Amino acid sequence: MTNPTSQIRARLPKIHLDKTQVGRLEALASAMMRRSPEVGERLLDEIARARLVAPEKLQSDIVTLGNAVTYRDLSTGREQTVVLVYPEEADIDRHRISVVTPVGVALLGLRAGATISWVTREGETRLLEVMQVQPAVSA
């Protein structure tokens, strides 16, 4: 039987992160190690492999905190549009998801058109594709 984690690592697309957000993301990942070590470790792994970019040089089709992203779950065909936010700003009713959720970690730093495998809280491996990235509408 193939290890799902090794399958995920084998198919990881390139990611880009706003270098000004990395310190806070690392602190969040470290804090998650007690509650959800899988999510904390995955976020630290994503940070470690990311290309760090100055915010003014980050291309507009990259998923970063505050951007709206439309993605498709390739297992179900379901499309969702969400805004990736810090945990204290998360509100599922307003489609604002935390960066320290399994899908939030998976989306972070991806470019429109990218696909990535991720593991749900229930342990199911899923595949998603980023359809569109746009600036979030101010509240």
Q: How confident is the model at residue 137 (pLDDT cuts 50, 70, 90)?
A: low
The tokens of 134 are what? 């746009």
pLDDT digits over 77-103, tens only?
999 999 999 999 999 999 999 999 999
Please write the tens of the pLDDT for every residue from 47-60.
999 999 999 999 99
User: Running DSSP on this structure, what letter comes out for residue 13?
Assistant: P
DSSP 50: S
Cβ burial of 56 (10 Å; 0-12, 13-18, 19+) is exposed
pTM for the full predicted model: 0.86
Are 138 and 96 spatial neighbours (Cβ–Cβ below 8 Å)? no
Walk me through the domains of the chain, giving residue ranges and CATH numbers. 4-134 (3.10.50.30)
The reported pLDDT for the residue numbered 11 is 65
